[in-house]
Amino acid sequence: MRRVYNVLMIRQLLCAAAGCVVASAGARAQPASVSFNRDIRPIMSDTCFRCHGPDRNARKADMRLDIRDEAIKPTRSGHVPIVPGDPDRSEIITRVFASGARVMPPPSAHKELTAAQKDTIRRWVAEGAIYEGHWAYERVKRPAVPTTADGSRIVNPIDAFIQDRLRRRGLTPASEADKRTLLRRVTLDLTGLLPTSADVRAFVADTAPDAYEKVVDRLLASRAYAEQRTMRWLDAVRYADTAGFHGDNPIPAWPYRDYVLQSFLTNQPFDAFTREQIAGDLLPNPTAEQRVASAYNRLNRTSAEGGIQPKEYLAKYGADRVRTLSAVWLGSTLGCAECHDHKFDPFLTKDFYAMKAFFADVQETGLVPDRGARAWGAKLALPTDAQKRALADLDATLAAAKSRLDDAAVMDPADEEAREIALKTRWQNGELQWTWQHPIAARAQNGATLTIYDQEPVESNFYLDGSLKTDVKPGDGLIVASGANPDRETYVVTIRPGAGTWGELGLEVVQDESLPGARYARGADRFLLSEVEAALVEGSGAPRPLRFTMATVNDTPPSVSSINDPAMPPLAAIDGDAKTAWGIRFGEARNPFLALRFAGRVETSADSTIVVTLRHESDLRRAVIGRFRLALASDPFAWPPVADAGRRARSKDPSGKTTWASGLPEDVMKALRRPADDRDETERNALRDYLIFSNPDLAELYRDVQLAEAERGLLDASIPHVVTTVSVDPAVTHVLPRGNWMDDSAPIVEPAIPRFLGALDTKGERATRLDLANWLASRDNPLTARTFVNRTWREFFGMGLSRALDDLGSQGEWPTHPELLDWLASEFMHPELDAASAHDWDVKHLIKLIVMSHTYRQSSLADANSGEADPENRLLAHQNLFRIDAENVRDVALQVSGLLSDRFGGPSVNPVEPSGYLAALNFPKREYSAGHGDELYRRGLYTMWQRTFLHPSLLNFDAPTREECTVNRTTSNTPLQALDLLNDPIYVEAARTFAQNALASGGRAFNAQLDWIFDRALNRPATAEERTILRGLHERSLKRFSADLSGAREFAAQGGSHLPSAVDVVRLAALSTVTRAVLNLHEVITRN
């Protein structure tokens, strides 16, 4: 039987409705019989299978129409659904032609058959009701390449398949696009960037027959090629930089992204790429790269919301894995089978859970912590060799320091008792308490305003016992920052403590709801205090610097660490290194208190002042403390008080007198209040720890341990980590009836591939993820190669050969060129063309075949004839044009303006983003902090992918949030895109820099500058009409900016990039309106 695959379902419906012949292949050579796959399956899948298909539970009247043996059997009622060759005796024919209550499909289904569809079904039954297996589930066979008389426009077999179909429809392929268009197209498609002017000149000048191939090879070898491929792959595997649920905190994932970059750069075979991601950890002696690859299994969204039921979330994570795998590798909607047998394809609910069971060994928890040592579960550290050595050195140092301290700390019981009595006495005498300071002056060096609230009332908003309270009370020494909010700030506070002897300086960081950065800082998501300095001033004498020897926070040892992050240790505030800082990110409703021990006692007289300097010099913008108090303690070992936000640290000492914080950990105070025999273990340990901490003879040794730990924490924080897959004993996997995670009544399943696709031979062993990966990437699998090839095709033509990239099943679209799809799939798995230079599963080979074809290279202009015959251009008589993807919109603007960073890989970055965009987030409450230097100008690919609030510029241009796997982006065209390109600061800065470069390098005359601009943005000269329009804009802008110099200055000052001081701002501003208009052109963001 000859198949003519030229009708896609939707057009068939339309044609049918319009009364034209079904399967209206204009140039069909012979009257075709009805084909099940082409003509009947789409109709039945849409209208019959829901009730008469694979889903046993949904089946009505015991009738099944998707399998011939079932469809020709009499049903319970005695009717025979289909009598092959005899439509009049076939119940389905009677019913589809019936009217009223008996009509099929019933009116309640909201599915009506057209008259033409009914006729088609009737003809099919009359012709014998021949069924065919669904195309995508049949093994890939390499089809013969059509031969053709006219080979003039045939570069490779792709063209033969395409042109064979065109010819039979009476169409001819378009001629090759002009060289400039072709170069722009292939450069954009392969790299996401534009060709440079030099690239265009070289290509135009190169008349060698292999000029184009040389370009293709150059582009395929570039890093930008890997970046472009990676961008698409990351959509599919739902790679993002944050958790996606609830607090949506950052996850360590970017090394996985870099793994993907390297894979595409080195053209790793796709089968190995598949294996490493799904089961890299199960490979024999896995390399670090392979274990990084296995992060794939951990890229799903996770929740750290308190009160989640772990089992429910484990069910969600598992289901996500099946959906993703099935869309990315199998082009199937197996996710539908979570709750019921698939309605249209032969996937059963059992298949869904059997697939889920492959991942049952992945170590994970339902609630995935987003903070602390256990954050994100299994992680892999990726130290450099130098970092490994440094880590080993530090570990040795730390161990030695600990053992020295332990040795020295052994006390005989009598000694211990004496110390305890002395401590209790000091405590009861109030010697450990803190004295809050009432500053006499406070100023900020970079522009913020500091106000001291002492007796003056100040409003405070803070959480206490789960609700927000507002207090208006005297500030009692509170210092509040307001006004200008620079990225970095230094506070200088002067206190006059009066006569006394001081052992420690205290800093209470005061939370307030008005502060966007975790309620501590004036921005960002934490405060970061780089350095604290102090100096003593006596009379008119020079300030005498006071050194600190120890920094303790109320949650550091000896009590349990909870809010401290090893990457931001207290000691970093006194280490003289502005790059390191003490900071806190989480710690809802806590006022952290930093106690800094002076090197030696500080004596003050009545007039002495102490000047305290708080430096915030971190790269994280505005991680600057918003409210704080200072305190002093006489004792060098006074413990920092623990305070809830809003509730001042008070405690009652044994005498019953209320004092300010008593200067001991809670558990130590509890211990001291009881006879020794009544203390519990916590209290005993706390007391012993404190006695060690406060023993002056041990102070050095104690400090050595703290320093080594702080250094280790800082080093560890500088080492990249990535979530990874650790295999443990597999959890039991039940089928969940209707997806209900609470229902354990259904059978347990073992890992298995969908039954109708075969079975894995694992010699009786439980099948593993590695078995799954091997099956996915085997040549026996009918779906993996077809799915990947179809998706790849879309990147070069704007549409897949089957448009439903994630559904090659019966509800998907019948491919326009099934033989071509299969030929490409076969060639991808096992190249026979240029076999010597290619390997199996060779992505670059596949892509090179596509972009070398005439089909790819032809012009996108349709002739009138093909437009009529094939309005959607599914037969590809010409190329398509489409808007470039979100990241590339950014990349291109930065590239032509000269701002683009060419750094490859590395941590994700924060480009400029509107303030307040993250205001609806919490845990922690946060404000966006843009990066610095070239981090602001990196390719869109590297943007921090915040799932719940994706960067608005990416979102506007249809980048997916990657909360779920996305294999097909939408491409919309909205006013918000126009606003973005016109007004987003990054595009304004790009326009300004572009103009600046045009002024510097484009010559003096406007015409020459315009040529220079067009050459870069459009790779062509401006036409006379374009010149007229832009000259008009330029002249009017010159006039307007001349009259509005401050406007010109503001416009010319956009962005963080360098503005030369010698520049004429009016000329720059005026030319910037021209570059801005050019960057907004449809042509710039369209791939032709």
By CB under 8 A, is residue 1073 in contact with other proteins?
yes
Rule CB under 8 A: which of 992-1031 touch other proteins? 1023, 1025-1026, 1029-1030
Near other proteins by CB under 8 A: residue from 53, 84, 247, 663? 247
Task: Name the minimum Å distance from CB 87 to other proteins.
Answer: 24
Rule CB under 8 A: which of 103-132 touch other proteins? 110, 112
Near other proteins by CB under 8 A: residue from 437, 554, 608, 977? 977
By CB under 8 A, is residue 816 in contact with other proteins?
no
Environment class of residue 457 by beta-carbon count within 10 Å: exposed (0-12), middle (13-18) or buried (19+)?
A: exposed
Determine the Cα–Cα distance for residues 74 and 134; give it in Å rounded to an integer. Answer: 24
Q: Which is nearer to other proteins, 540 or 970 (CB)?
A: 970
Task: Name the minimum Å distance from CB 860 to other proteins.
Answer: 8
In contact, 607 and 539? CB cutoff 8 Å: yes
Q: Which is nearer to other proteins, 720 or 798 (CB)?
A: 798
Q: What are residue 629's DSSP bridge partners? A: 508
Rule CB under 8 A: which of 62-101 touch other proteins? none
By CB under 8 A, is residue 754 in contact with other proteins?
no
Using N-to-C axis directions, what is the helix angle for 197-205 and 179-191, rounded to 10°? 130
By CB under 8 A, is residue 984 in contact with other proteins?
yes
What is each CA distance from 281 to 181, 257, 361, 362, 1027, in whole angstroms? 45, 17, 11, 10, 60
Q: How far apart are the first and last CA of the chain?
A: 39
User: Interface with other proteins by CB under 8 A: which range of 368-376, 593-601, 785-793, 1073-1081?
Assistant: 1073-1081
Task: Name the minimum Å distance from CB 608 to other proteins.
Answer: 44
Q: Is 285 helix (H, G, I), strand (E, B) or coil?
A: coil
Q: Which is nearer to other proteins, 826 or 956 (CB)?
A: 956
For residues 1003, 1008, 1012, 1017, the Cα torsion angle rounded to the nearest 10 degrees is 150
Task: Name the minimum Å distance from CB 592 to other proteins.
Answer: 21
Rule CB under 8 A: which of 297-336 touch other proteins? 301, 303, 305-309, 312, 316, 323, 327, 333, 335-336
Task: Name the minimum Å distance from CB 845 to other proteins.
Answer: 25
By CB under 8 A, is residue 13 in contact with other proteins?
yes
H helices within 696-767, ranges in order? 699-718
Task: Name the minimum Å distance from CB 332 to other proteins.
Answer: 9
Q: HEC states along 769-784?
A: HHHHHHHHCCCCCCCH
Structure tokens at 52: 């008469």
Rule CB under 8 A: which of 569-598 touch other proteins? none
User: Interface with other proteins by CB under 8 A: which range of 217-225, 590-598, 835-843, 960-968?
Assistant: 960-968
By CB under 8 A, is residue 189 in contact with other proteins?
no
**Cα radius of gyration (the chain):** 36
Task: Name the minimum Å distance from CB 173 to other proteins.
Answer: 17
Q: Which is nearer to other proteins, 764 or 975 (CB)?
A: 975
Near other proteins by CB under 8 A: residue from 961, 996, 997, 1009? 961
Near other proteins by CB under 8 A: residue from 442, 524, 804, 820? 804
Task: Name the minimum Å distance from CB 464 to other proteins.
Answer: 10
By CB under 8 A, is residue 353 in contact with other proteins?
no
Near other proteins by CB under 8 A: residue from 52, 769, 947, 1016? 947
Is the peptide bond preceding residue 924 cis, with omega within 30 degrees of 0?
Answer: yes
In contact, 1009 and 1002? CB cutoff 8 Å: yes
User: Interface with other proteins by CB under 8 A: which range of 281-289, 433-441, 670-678, 943-951?
Assistant: 943-951
By CB under 8 A, is residue 1049 in contact with other proteins?
yes
In contact, 910 and 944? CB cutoff 8 Å: yes
Near other proteins by CB under 8 A: residue from 138, 217, 577, 1083? 1083
Name the DSSP letter for residue 440.
Answer: S
Structure tokens at 820: 């071509």
Pairing of strands 882-883, 1086-1087: antiparallel
Q: Which is nearer to other proteins, 55 or 667 (CB)?
A: 55
Structure tokens at 305: 């919301």
DSSP of 253-268, one letter per residue?
-HHHHHHHHHHHHTT-
By CB under 8 A, is residue 511 in contact with other proteins?
no
Phi-psi category of 75—alpha, beta or left, where left has phi over 0 and alpha has psi -120 to 50? beta
Contacts of 384 (CB under 8 A, 6+ apart): none
Rule CB under 8 A: which of 274-293 touch other proteins? none
Task: Name the minimum Å distance from CB 994 to other proteins.
Answer: 14
Near other proteins by CB under 8 A: residue from 276, 504, 958, 1011? 958
Task: Name the minimum Å distance from CB 1081 to other proteins.
Answer: 6
Task: Name the minimum Å distance from CB 589 to other proteins.
Answer: 11
Residue showing tokens 């020709």: 72
Q: Which is nearer to other proteins, 461 or 651 (CB)?
A: 461
In contact, 322 and 338? CB cutoff 8 Å: yes
How many contiguous H segments (helices) and E segments (strands) does the chain have? 35, 24
Rule CB under 8 A: which of 469-498 touch other proteins? 470
Task: Name the minimum Å distance from CB 606 to other proteins.
Answer: 45
- Nearest CA-CA partner of 336 in 347, 350, 321: 347
Task: Name the minimum Å distance from CB 315 to other proteins.
Answer: 11
Site string for other proteins, 709-748 (x = CB under 8 A): ---------------------------------x------
Task: Name the minimum Å distance from CB 108 to other proteins.
Answer: 8
Near other proteins by CB under 8 A: residue from 364, 807, 887, 935? 807
Q: Which is nearer to other proteins, 511 or 948 (CB)?
A: 948
User: Interface with other proteins by CB under 8 A: which range of 402-410, 615-623, 659-667, 920-928?
Assistant: 920-928
What is each CA distance from 795 to 222, 550, 867, 1046, in whole angstroms? 18, 59, 22, 46
Determine the Cα–Cα distance for residues 785 and 776; give it in Å rounded to an integer. Answer: 9
Task: Name the minimum Å distance from CB 319 to other proteins.
Answer: 8
Q: Which is nearer to other proteins, 607 or 744 (CB)?
A: 744
Determine the Cα–Cα distance for residues 910 and 524; give it in Å rounded to an integer. Answer: 12
Rule CB under 8 A: which of 412-471 touch other proteins? 465-468, 470
User: Interface with other proteins by CB under 8 A: which range of 6-14, 139-147, 207-215, 711-719?
Assistant: 6-14
Structure tokens at 216: 């293709």
Residue showing tokens 């998501």: 525
Determine the Cα–Cα distance for residues 161 and 147; give it in Å rounded to an integer. Answer: 9
- Nearest CA-CA partner of 614 in 720, 729, 733, 495: 495
Kindly report the number of other CB atoms within 10 A of residue 861's CB atom: 15
Task: Name the minimum Å distance from CB 923 to other proteins.
Answer: 7
For residues 1036, 1039, 1044, 1045, the Cα torsion angle rounded to the nearest 10 degrees is 120
By CB under 8 A, is residue 858 in contact with other proteins?
no
Near other proteins by CB under 8 A: residue from 245, 353, 527, 928? 245
Contacts of 544 (CB under 8 A, 6+ apart): 535, 536, 537, 538
Q: Which is nearer to other proteins, 397 or 514 (CB)?
A: 514
By CB under 8 A, is residue 1044 in contact with other proteins?
yes
Count interface residues toward other proteins (CB under 8 A): 130
Rule CB under 8 A: which of 610-629 touch other proteins? none
- Nearest CA-CA partner of 527 in 640, 643, 618, 463: 618
Determine the Cα–Cα distance for residues 241 and 961; give it in Å rounded to an integer. Answer: 11
Residue showing tokens 């207090």: 471
